[in-house]
A and B are shown apart, each in its own frame.
Chain A
């Protein structure tokens, strides 16, 4: 910096207000772990009640994840809701772990509102048997989440009151979040609207790139309707 440059202004002292951090849990390497996700007593209750149906318990970053047998998931949810107080259904979703043995995974995030506790359940679904019992009988909020998983991965939720596609058109033939689905889609599977009011659907997804330009309205052919 040249010598005749104006004197640099000192930075103003800014006062930051930090959110107080919860003390790290004992024996947890992750300092950000929240005590709300550390629920060994609930896991113990589940293991005592369901025994063999609790396939595995994983603790990662201070969060308990319980792998449950697919056929018992409704019972487990009912137990957690009625007897353990996990009344709030936070989330449900599907995962395609296509390199693993049971390919699909459905997770359930449940919250105990008054005790501030969270637990995550997981269910593995084999590709040959895509049926999962629906938990909408226990948690009505699971309705749209299960529809979304059906739409994206094609899992069938038995007992769901209205298992329709959530986002994609009803006649779409594929499940786009499966890993084998090409990112740019399958040409012709999602038609574009007609280029004129009475024209045919546009089946080419890149019509403009292939030289098609929708005609201006005064260029459109005359209507065949009187």
Chain B
């Protein structure tokens, strides 16, 4: 092989997660004043296009990140859950602002006291409303979560822990025959 032509080894997960984390399409579930800050987050000044998330998708079928911005009433909760169920896997959720995270100042009968009562929230943003930088930070946290936590085999395994990986070189051939090598010897350089 020509020495000028390099090659790179990686895992499918690393490539897929890299692509996913840099092309998150948010579903803007703007319910209240936080939605105004969410618009600023997508606008040219804060320019979330730097992180590949400028394409807000108003159809749940095309989105993989739901940003719930604002207080959520019990009546609206059913619509939000339906939109969430219509989003294709894998999907992530940001609770933006005090109201979406905890109910905030709306401590009353009609407002859900935190959307984590019915949605699996990945990142909570404090603030009333949070500044666009905070939303960008939450997006970067989601990106980090995707790169570190998510593997495409999670969908097939329904969240079960993966089987332990086989050792790359389980055995070596010795004069006495095949002999297993403990992973400590293989992978722990300090040992």
Question: Interface residues of A, CB < 8 Å — how many?
Answer: 33
For residues 106 through 147 of chain B, which have their beta carbon under 8 Å from a beta carbon of chain A? 107-110, 112-114, 116-120
Q: In whole angstroms, how far apart are the Cα atoms of A38 and B78 in the complex?
A: 48
A-side interface mostly: loop
Complex A-B, nearest 7 residue pairs according to Cβ-Cβ distance, in ascending order:
A185-B109, A193-B81, A190-B74, A219-B159, A214-B120, A197-B85, A207-B117
Instruction: Count residues of chain B with CB under 8 A from any CB of chain A.
Output: 28
A183-B107, A217-B91 are known contacts. Are A168 and B117 too (CB-CB below 8 A)?
no
Give Cα A185–Cα B73 distance, bound, in whole angstroms: 13
- Interface residues in chain B, defined as those with a beta carbon under 8 Å from any beta carbon in chain A: 74-75, 77-78, 80-82, 85, 89-91, 107-110, 112-114, 116-120, 154-155, 157-159
CB of B74 within 8 A of CB of A192, answer yes
| Contact A206 to B117, CB < 8 A, known contacts A167-B75, A193-B82, A194-B81 | yes
The CA of A157 and the CA of B90, in the complex, are separated in Å by 50
User: Can you name 30 A-B residue pairings with CB atoms under 8 Å?
Assistant: A167-B110, A168-B75, A168-B110, A169-B74, A169-B75, A182-B109, A183-B108, A184-B107, A184-B108, A184-B109, A190-B109, A191-B74, A192-B74, A193-B78, A193-B118, A194-B118, A205-B113, A207-B117, A207-B118, A208-B116, A208-B117, A212-B117, A213-B120, A214-B119, A217-B120, A218-B89, A218-B154, A219-B158, A219-B159, A222-B158
A-B contacts counted at CB < 8 A amount to 79
- Which partner residue on chain A sits nearest B116 by CB separation? A208
Q: Which residues of A contact B (CB under 8 A)?
A: 167-169, 176, 181-186, 190-195, 197, 202, 205-209, 212-220, 222
In the complex with contacts A168-B75, A205-B113, A195-B108 CB distance below 8 A: no
Quick check: B116 and A214 within 8 Å, CB to CB? yes
- Please, which residues of chain A bring their CB within 8 A of the CB of B81? 193-194
State the CA gap A222–B160 with chains docked (Å). 14
- How far apart are the CA atoms of A154 and B78 in the complex, in Å? 25
